[in-house]
Structure formats: structure tokens, C-alpha cells
């Protein structure tokens, strides 16, 4: 069904004028209202203010970070990510394909990609927070933070280090991968705990079942700790202020618009060189291409 109101979320600095012009023209030709609801990182104001609750569809112009901001604003309504740069993991089209993609959405010719999220409850913080990619707890100053991590009530590990990441399947290819954690393949329904630079001991990453529960007792040490959700700083935990975080997985939290022929997740990671073959394999390809055995 054709949307009546579209909410646009834009990158704070990237050049998005061409894509925005396409969106304005497409909406104007169909009498569709275009508004810009409040969202994180909205430093560019291009459309009239509007309420997210009134929108039927959200269009994110920028990249994966902008699409994440739109997902947080959309409240489960469909989000079409437009890559004003290189195609990412959450964006479906570039500016040149935006008009065609909107035509397909209006005709119902699209596929809903349902995304889970982390529900994060913390003592002393209300209400619970939601992360589509990851929760990061990281030291904010000198020294280390300490954490005790339990899974479904059972102690997994106690460690001191730079911090930790808890990530969804989507977020497993972001910060937690950079920290040496596992990537959950598409279709994986669990979530991942990864320590950041643990100091000694044996503290491996852990993949938990979709109905599991992480409980994290945090001692921020003398330097304090920083809490980040989907790459945005939420708060600082003051030094020596003990906190407990409970993290569970919420299924079907958000909806991304995808189209036939969208790039698979692993292919996208390889294209962006997040995943790279070993030098031995690349050297073998070079010899083969040169006709040498």
C-alpha cells in the first residue's frame, strides 16, 4: 500500500542532496507528505518537523549509522536505507535506485527483513534501553574495568580489561568482530558476548541461545566506564559505582525494507574487505592467473 506520510532521517554531514531531491520529487508527484521526525544525529534539517507515529515508512539517507538511527525512531515500521556512499549492511539501494525502490515499496513488492534487538536493563537507569547492533561497556579513563558475567544465572567468567561487547546477530559483524568475537551467520538467532582486551585468564567470546539472559556485574574501577548503545554514548558510570546490567534478546524488533537481489551478508563483508582471504590463498590466485603452477 502506498504510504501517506514518509519520515526522512539524514546523515549529519554527508552529501545527500541528490537522494533527497529524488525523495522530494517522488513524494510530490504522489501527494505524499514528507517530514523529518526527531532522531539521533539530526544536524541537517531538510524537511518540515513531524511525528514518527504519523509515518508509514521511513527513508534513511546516509549509511548504516543513519539507518540504525531511523530504526530506533521508526518503532517497528519499515525503514528503507539509502547508501549515500558505499553500500553497507543495512542499506538496500543507492541514490540512483531510490525512485525505483520507492515504486516497489508502494506496490508492495518488497521483503521485510525482521531484526532482533537487545533489551538492556540496568539498576539505577530507567526505562530499559534497546540496541539493534550492540551494547558496549568500555573504560572511560586510566585503569581497567572489572566484570562478572553470568548466563542464565550461571557464572561464566570474571575478568578485568578494557570492557565488553554484547551483540545481536547483525552486530556480530561490527565491533565484536573487530574485538575478535565470532560472526553469527545470517539466520542465526542467538547473541554474542565478547570481552575487550581481558587481562590474563581464559575469557573467550560466548554465543548464547536466543532465549538466554546475560547478567553483568560491573565495577568501573577508578577511571569509570562509558556505556554505548549502537555506537552512541548513553552515560558514564562514575568511578567505584557498582552497576548490574541484564541483557536479553527481543525478537522481531525492527523492519528493514529489502528488495530481490539484495547482497547477502557474507558477500557484503567480503566486498567491503571486512573479511579477507589469507595471503597464501591470494598468492595462489595470483599464480593461477599468471599461468604458473
Active site residues: 64
Instruction: Confirm if 118 and 130 have CB atoms less than 8 A apart.
Output: yes
Strands 213-219 and 163-167: unpaired
Q: Give CB contacts under 8 A, 24+ apart, made by 44-50.
A: 44/10, 44/11, 44/12, 44/13, 44/16, 46/8, 46/10, 46/20, 47/8, 50/5, 50/7
| CA–CA–CA angle 85, 86, 90 (5° rounding) | 105
Distance in angstroms (rounded) separating the CA atoms of residues 255 and 188? 17
Centroid of chain to Cα 291 = 43
Q: Name the residue with cell 504510504.
A: 3
Instruction: Confirm if 33 and 6 have CB atoms less than 8 A apart.
Output: yes
Instruction: Confirm if 190 and 104 have CB atoms less than 8 A apart.
Output: no
Nearest to 182 by CA among 196, 194, 170, 165: 194
Distance in angstroms (rounded) separating the CA atoms of residues 157 and 148? 6
Q: Name the residue with cell 546475560.
A: 214
In degrees rounded to 5, what are phi and psi of residue 186? Answer: -55, 135
Pull the grid cell for residue 50: 513531524
Instruction: Confirm if 51 and 64 have CB atoms less than 8 A apart.
Output: no
Amino acid at each position: 500500500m502506498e504510504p501517506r506520510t514518509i519520515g526522512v532521517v539524514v546523515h549529519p554531514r554527508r552529501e545527500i542532496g541528490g537522494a533527497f531531491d529524488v525523495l522530494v520529487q517522488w513524494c510530490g508527484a504522489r501527494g505524499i507528505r514528507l517530514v523529518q521526525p526527531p532522531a539521533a544525529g539530526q544536524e541537517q534539517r531538510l524537511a518540515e518537523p513531524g511525528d514518527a507515529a504519523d509515518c508509514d515508512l521511513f527513508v534513511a539517507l546516509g549509511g548504516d549509522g543513519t539507518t540504525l538511527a531511523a530504526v530506533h525512531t521508526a518503532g517497528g515500521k519499515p525503514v528503507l536505507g539509502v547508501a549515500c556512499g558505499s553500500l553497507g549492511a543495512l542499506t538496500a539501494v543507492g541514490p540512483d535506485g531510490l525512485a525505483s525502490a520507492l515504486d516497489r515499496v508502494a506496490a508492495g513488492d518488497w521483503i521485510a527483513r525482521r531484526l532482533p534487538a537487545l533489551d538492556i536493563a540496568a539498576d539505577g537507569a530507567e526505562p530499559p534501553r534497546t540496541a539493534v547492533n550492540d551494547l558496549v561497556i568500555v573504560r572511560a579513563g586510566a585503569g581497567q574495568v572489572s566484570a562478572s558475567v553470568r548466563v542464565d544465572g550461571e557464572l561464566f567468567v570474571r575478568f578485568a580489561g578494557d570492557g565488553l561487547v554484547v551483540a545481536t546477530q547483525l552486530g556480530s559483524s561490527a565491533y565484536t568482530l573487530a574485538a575478535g568475537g565470532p560472526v553469527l551467520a545470517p539466520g542465526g538467532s542467538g547473541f554474542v558476548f565478547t570481552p575487550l582486551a581481558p587481562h590474563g585468564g581464559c575469557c573467550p567470546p560466548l554465543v548464547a541461545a536466543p532465549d538466554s539472559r546475560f547478567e553483568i556485574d560491573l565495577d568501573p574501577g577508578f577511571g569509570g566506564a562509558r556505556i554505548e548503545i549502537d555506537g552512541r554514548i548513553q552515560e558514564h558510570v562514575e568511578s567505584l559505582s557498582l552497576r548490574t546490567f541484564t541483557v536479553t534478546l527481543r525478537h522481531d524488533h525492527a523492519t528493514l525494507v529489502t528488495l530481490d537481489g539484495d547482497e547477502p551478508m557474507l558477500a557484503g563483508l567480503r566486498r567491503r574487505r571486512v573479511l579477507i582471504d589469507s595471503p597464501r590463498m591470494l598468492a595462489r590466485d595470483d599464480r593461477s592467473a599468471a599461468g604458473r603452477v
